[in-house]
Amino acid sequence: FPGFGGPQGELTHSVVPPNRKDDIVVPKGYEQAVMIAWGDPVEYGAPRFDVNRLTPEAQAKQFGYNNDYTMIVPLRDERKALLVCNHEYTDEKLMLPTGRYDAKTVAKIGIAAHGMSVVQIERVGRSGQWRRDKQGSRYNRRITAATKFEVSGPAAADQRVGKVAYGTFGNCAGGVTPWGTILSGEENFNGYFDVTGTVPAEYATSYKRYGVPTTVTKSSRQWSIVDPRFDLSKNPTEAFRAGWIVEVDPYEPRATPRKLTMLGRMKHEGATTTITADGRIAVYLGDDERGEYVYKFVSTGKYDPDNRKRNFGLLDEGTLYVAKFTGDGAEDGLYDGTGTWIPLTSDKKSFIEGMSVADVLIDVRIAADKVGATRMDRPEDIERNPVNGRVYAAMTNNSNRGGTFAVDEANPLAKSHVRDTFGGPLVEKSGNRNGYILELTEEGDDAAKTGFFWTLFLVCGDPAAQETYFGGYDKSKVSPISCPDNVAFDGSGNLWISTDGNVLGSNDGIFTVPVAGPKRGQVKQFLSVPFGAEACGPLISEDDKTAFVAVQHPGETDDATFEKPASTWPHTDRFPRPAISCVWRKDNGRVGS
Ligand code: FEO
Ligand code: CA
Ligand code: CA
Ligand code: CA
């Protein structure tokens, strides 16, 4: 790989120190600006944002709450592009003035504030700065927790799911396909359902495996008071229409988005794609819960770069695998070994005795339990590095490792160190508190293969804690990093990591790290997000001039409310507004330099 790790890709940016500021902090020589915030207009006719005069109809045309996954896709005019993002969840006590709206209106606003947005953006001059295109656009679109979806793939024919579903919610991370559609993962779907009576006994095992309530339950949002879909006593199969990867075509604003059942039903973190050696599509999938699994899908059909529409449906036929990690022992001083992708089902044939194809897809966790797959420490974003071909996966943390879940070489920490206060002492806690970055090298560097080598590239935490490991790099020269969540790459193949839930006493942020060359493992903090927020994205533009960061849940603390916020970022109001910012170099140079 010419130039890889070479001077043109070097990460020479100044290091942002750990802090607790209520602002985005960027390296020296960089600038940042908000592109779009909760409540800004998206669709034509969206009223001006007014938190005291919100309506469900207004919210359904405005930018939703808690922006998470962020992707930019190009338009013909290269000064314009489409921003696509997820609105994962709402936090009504931070969002809305206490007592201002009745319970039904709150529920309807919540439904409208979830889902996704497609928004046209424009470049400012020739710089790396982008902003919302105030002219609006025919592409601008909101998808909410009430939007109609078509169900595709083998489970659409099963009576538990069916061919039509409404709404998407809990959308965490995602990915973009080579044909320019967006994949988005429905993650914590189980928390959206109420149970007012009983649920069918035949579904109890499945419900329990996914944390779906089986006894009388009032969820925090209580959407069932405005829509009986969310009452499992009345609509017990509704739980089977959530927990999928959804596919949205940002270029076709009127097209019905789809739920892709061939990618399995789980607490989907995201779905990222790559092309196999023989031209098929592989999709990497993480199920974000303690002790859950890492999955991969490989399509039957090949990608056609010349005919966009012919690729629609590629993700409906193929094979779904789950990962098993085997260690090679501690003697070599590394957490590493080999692994296998174990097939669970194809679209035509199940490989699990006693389970049909639809059974495996709907209850993929139960299928994976039967084949001895490896229980991981909250698998989040997984993505192939386009420069070195290796796959990087964030395992965010698992406080129960060493307790409920036995340690193994891929999940080695039963104890780790945190800082309970900013600048306070390191304190030992049970479990893996700071997470890992796993590096997979697939056989022949081919994503279609079923064998791989793996190594823990980063054992995150404070470098002063003895259990941490930074790819073998000098620990006195790295930034502390805790709870990796999302991963991305710049044009030189450097890894960019965002964090969620930092337990070292400081704000979350975005970090850079070379994966090759003499500085492999040198983690440096690039940015920090405002108080109480997690850093989502990250995304580096194709031209390496812009880093995008989605600031999710600024000011979210245990006791913060709308009236007593812990953050007022982006400081346009007296309450916080989740928003997406862009970061660029003042001299328009490459981000990371
Ligand atoms: Fe929504 Fe897995 O973080
Ligand atoms: Ca080893
Ligand atoms: Ca995430
Ligand atoms: Ca997370």
Model ipTM value: 0.94
Specify if 232 maps to a domain: no
Kind and range of the H or E run holding 123? strand 115-123
* The total number of structural domains that make up the chain: 1
**Whole domain around residue 428: which residue ranges?**
7-187+243-585
Q: Which residues of the chain have pLDDT under 70?
A: 1-7
- Residue with CA nearest ligand 1 atom 1: 172
Q: Is the CB of 266 under 6 A from ligand 1?
A: no
In a domain, 569, yes or no: yes
- Within-domain flag for 543: yes
How much is the pLDDT for 7?
56
Cα 482 to averaged position of ligand 1 atoms, centre (Å): 15
Task: Tell whether 192 is covered by a domain.
Answer: no
> Over the stretch 215-261, which tens digit does the pLDDT of each residue have?
999 999 999 999 999 999 999 999 999 999 999 999 999 999 999 99
In this prediction, residue 419 carries a pLDDT of: 98
Is there a domain that residue 405 lies in?
A: yes
Asked whether 544 lines ligand 1 (CB < 6 A), one says no
Return the ligand number nearest the Cα of 456.
2
Q: Please, which residues have CB less than 5 A from ligand 4, an ion?
A: 485, 500
Asked whether 186 lines ligand 1 (CB < 6 A), one says no
Ligand 1 atom nearest to 267, measured from its CA? 2
Q: Is residue 411 part of a domain?
A: yes
Looking at residue 313, its pLDDT comes to: 96
Name, in order, each residue with C-beta under 8 angstroms of 487's C-beta and a sequence gap of 6 or more: 381, 382, 383, 392, 393, 394, 437, 495, 496, 497, 498
Residue 367 lies in a domain: yes
pTM: 0.98
Asked if residue 289 has its Cβ within 6 Å of ligand 1, the reply is no
Q: How many angstroms separate the alpha carbon of residue 218 from the centre of ligand 4?
A: 24
CA distance from start to end of the chain: 20
Identify the bridge partners of residue 359 per DSSP, sorted by sequence position: none
Cα–Cα distance for residue pair 148/418, rounded to 1 Å: 44
CB 435 within 8 A of CB 262: no
Nearest CA to ligand 1 atom 3: 172
Which ligand 1 atom sits nearest the alpha carbon of residue 173?
Answer: 1
Q: Which atom of ligand 1 is nearest to the CA of 286?
A: 2
Would you say the CB of residue 381 lies under 6 angstroms from ligand 1? no
- Rg (alpha carbons) of the chain, rounded to whole number: 22
Which candidate, 510, 511, 551, 547, places its Cα nearest to that of 532? Answer: 551
Does 233 map to a domain?
Answer: no
pLDDT at 1: 34
